[in-house]
């Protein structure tokens, strides 16, 4: 995989995580659910497929290692929001007659609203780590080019002796 592809993946991942937060906020606000808004496992999202697939080539970098926990937690928090919004409250038939279902659903929505700030914070943490990972990737690429150049120069110099 080319360096430019890796950097593009990291940029796209940051944008995708910001979009996840916006989707969650929209869901809490009552916007309709689209297919891509259904929560999935951290290994199933586009970033997760890369992270647990070809992204493994970066596994020795500290920022790569630091991504897994906040990324997993981001998915867990989104799943909590989704369940609160789309699971029906557990209210008896008699309770439904007296409007308790609406009250219970309103309570679930309030709980979901309270999860938005932690979701934002997790997304920000993931984005910050992705930015650090990009810096580490670029630095590793520079070191590799420098080492290759030095090796080439040594070979050239030893041929001149």
Domain residues for 36? 3-160
Look up residue 33 and give its two tokens.
Answer: 């659910």
Q: Which of 6, 4, 3 is nearest to 50 (CA)?
A: 6
| pLDDT reading at 96 higher than 80 | no
| pLDDT reading at 6 higher than 50 | yes
Model confidence band, residue 56 (pLDDT cutoffs 50, 70, 90):
very high
Number of structural domains the chain divides into: 1
Q: Where are the alpha helices (DSSP H) in the chain?
A: 3-28, 46-51, 62-86, 93-97, 100-160
| DSSP reduced 3-state for 83 | helix
* CA distances to 36, 137, 151 from 45, in Å: 10, 22, 41
């Amino acid at each position: 995989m080319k360096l430019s592809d890796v950097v593009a993946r990291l940029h796209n991942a940051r944008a995708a995580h910001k979009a996840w937060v916006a989707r969650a906020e929209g869901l809490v606000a009552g916007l309709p659910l689209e297919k891509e808004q259904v929560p999935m496992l951290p290994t199933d999202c586009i970033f997760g497929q890369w992270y647990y697939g070809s992204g493994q080539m970066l596994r020795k970098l500290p920022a790569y290692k630091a991504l897994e926990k906040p990324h997993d937690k981001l998915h867990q928090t989104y799943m909590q929001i989704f369940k609160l919004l789309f699971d029906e409250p557990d209210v008896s038939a008699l309770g439904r007659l007296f409007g308790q279902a609406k009250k219970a659903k309103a309570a679930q929505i309030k709980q979901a609203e309270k999860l938005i700030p932690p979701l934002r914070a997790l997304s920000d943490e993931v984005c910050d780590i992705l930015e650090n990972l990009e810096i580490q990737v670029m630095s590793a690429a520079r070191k590799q080019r420098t080492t290759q150049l030095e090796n080439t120069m040594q070979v050239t110099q030893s041929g001149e002796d």
